[in-house]
Amino acid sequence: MSTLHHEDMIFVAGHRGLVGSAIVRKLREKGYDNLLLKTRSELDLTDQAAVRAFFKSERPDHVVLAAAKVGGILANSTYPADFIYQNLAIEVNIIHEAWLAGVKKLLFLGSSCIYPKLAPQPLKEEYLLTSSLEPTNEAYAIAKIAGLKMCEFYNRQYGARFISVMPTNLYGPGDNFDLNTSHVLPAMIRKFHEAKTRGDGSVTLWGTGTPRREFLHVDDLADACVFLLERYEDPAFLNIGVGEDVTIRELAELVRRIVGFGGDILWDSAKPDGTPRKLLDVSKLKALGWKPAISLEEGIEDTRRWYLRNEAEPALRPGVIGTT
C-alpha cells in the first residue's frame, strides 16, 4: 500500500539538478503534481532562518533532499571547507526543520562515492564506515555520511520516517558535459561528438581502459526513489544501481559506436586509472521488487540526444552552420 498520495505536497530540494529534475519528471509522470519547488534565489538552503520560515509557512507532506554541492576531484581537493560546510548546512537545516514541521516522509540522497576507498566489491550497505575514505573527496563524503546518519538517528530517537538511498554512478539528461569537471560518460559523449564533427582521426582517453564501472540512468534512479517513497519504511539505507558493470574500454567502444565516430581510440596510460572497480550490491532493492528499465546503450543514446539539443556548441550540432 502506497504511503504517498496524489494530493500530498512534495518539496523537492535541488529540483534543477541532474537528480532533482529527474525526480520531478518521474513524480509528475506518476500523477504527483502538487510539487513545491524553489530556486536558490528564492530559498537559500544553507540559511537556517530562511529554511525554518519556509517549512513553517508551506508545511510540505513529503521532502526529497536532492540538493547538494557537488564537484569533481579538483574542486573537492581545492575547496574542502566549502564542500563540508555547505552540504552539512543544507542537510542539517532541511532534516531538522522537516522533523519540526511534522513531515510524513523524507528521502535523502547519498552517494556511492562515500563508501570506503578499499571496500570489497560489490559494495554492500554494511560496508559503510568500515575503513578509510577516498582522500580526494573526504569533505563531501563526511558531510553525506552525516546526513545519512542524521536520518537514521532522527528515526531512532523521534520516530521519524526518513529514508536514505545510495545511488551508483549516474548519467542522463541535465548532466555536466564540461571536460574539466564532468564524469567519464558525459565527457566521452562530448569528446567523441566533437572529434566526429571536426573529422579527427582519433580520440585520446585517460588511463588504460581496464577499470570497471557501473552506470545508472538518472530516470531509473528517479523511478527507484518514487518506488521507495511509496513503499519503503525501513530506516536502513539502500543501494540503487544496476548490479552490472563494464570496463571503461567497453564503455568507450559503445559511446564511439552510438556517436558514430569512425576514428581510433588511444589510451594515455600515463594518466591514472582510479579505483579498479566500483559496483554496488543491489540485492536488497531487487528483493523489494524494483529493477532498472533503461539499458546502457539506450541511456547513452538518450543522453547524447539531450547533449546535442542543449549543450553542444552551435557549430558542432548536426545541420547547424556556425559563424566565426
pLDDT band at 315 (very low <50, low <70, confident <90, very high): very low
Q: What percent of the chain has pLDDT over 70?
A: 96
Task: Retrieve residue 34's grid coordinates.
Answer: 502538487
Task: Retrieve residue 69's grid coordinates.
Answer: 554541492
Q: Which pLDDT does position 71 carry in this prediction?
A: 81
pLDDT band at 150 (very low <50, low <70, confident <90, very high): very high
Does the pLDDT value for residue 324 go beyond 60?
no
Q: Which pLDDT does position 165 carry in this prediction?
A: 98
Place of cell 589510451: 267
Q: Which pLDDT does position 180 carry in this prediction?
A: 81
Q: Which pLDDT does position 271 carry in this prediction?
A: 87
Mean pLDDT computed over every residue of the chain? 93
Q: Which pLDDT does position 323 carry in this prediction?
A: 27
Average pLDDT rounded to a whole number, residues 196-214: 95
The three-state DSSP-derived secondary structure of the chain is CCCCCCCCCEEEECCCCHHHHHHHHHHHHCCCCCEECCCCCCCCCCCHHHHHHHHHHHCCCEEEECCCCCCCHHHHHHCHHHHHHHHHHHHHHHHHHHHHCCCCEEEEECCHHHCCCCCCCCECHHHCCCCCCCHHHHHHHHHHHHHHHHHHHHHHHHCCCEEEEEECEEECCCCCCCCCCCCHHHHHHHHHHHHHHHCCCEEEEECCCCCEECEEEHHHHHHHHHHHHHHCCCCCCEEECCCCCEEHHHHHHHHHHHHCCCCEEEEECCCCCCCCEECECCHHHHHCCCCCCCCHHHHHHHHHHHHHHHCCCHHHCCCCCCCC
Average pLDDT rounded to a whole number, residues 228-243: 96
pLDDT band at 255 (very low <50, low <70, confident <90, very high): very high
Place of cell 528483493: 287
For 56-65, how does the pLDDT look when each residue is reduced to its tens digit (9 = 90+)? 999 999 999 9
Q: Taking the model in full, what pTM does it have?
A: 0.93
For 37-55, how does the pLDDT look when each residue is reduced to its tens digit (9 = 90+)? 999 999 999 999 999 999 9
Q: Which pLDDT does position 54 carry in this prediction?
A: 98
Catalytic: which of 32, 115, 140, 232? 140
Average pLDDT rounded to a whole number, residues 66-90: 91
Q: Which of 3.40.50.720, 3.40.1010.10, 3.40.640.10, 2.60.40.1170 would CATH assign to domain 10-171+215-240?
A: 3.40.50.720
Q: Which pLDDT does position 284 carry in this prediction?
A: 98
Domain ranges of the chain: 10-171+215-240
Contact 102, 56 (CB under 8 A): no
Would you call 232 a catalytic residue per the annotation? Answer: no
Q: Give CA angle at 209 (206, 212), nearest 5°.
A: 120
Q: Which pLDDT does position 144 carry in this prediction?
A: 97
Rounded distance between C-alpha atoms, residue 9 and residue 192, angstroms: 43
Does the pLDDT value for residue 240 go beyond 50?
yes
pLDDT band at 179 (very low <50, low <70, confident <90, very high): confident
Q: What is the CA radius of gyration of the chain?
A: 20
Residue 194 buriedness (CB in 10 A; 0-12 / 13-18 / 19+): middle
For 259-302, how does the pLDDT look when each residue is reduced to its tens digit (9 = 90+)? 999 999 999 999 888 778 999 999 999 999 999 999 999 999 99
Q: What percent of the chain has pLDDT over 90?
A: 85
Average pLDDT rounded to a whole number, residues 196-200: 97
Task: Retrieve residue 58's grid coordinates.
Answer: 508551506
Residue type, 272: P
Q: From its phi and psi, is residue 34 left (phi > 0), alpha (psi between -120 and 50) or beta?
A: beta
Does the pLDDT value for residue 321 go beyond 80?
no
For 89-142, how does the pLDDT look when each residue is reduced to its tens digit (9 = 90+)? 999 999 999 999 999 999 999 999 999 989 999 999 999 999 999 888 899 999
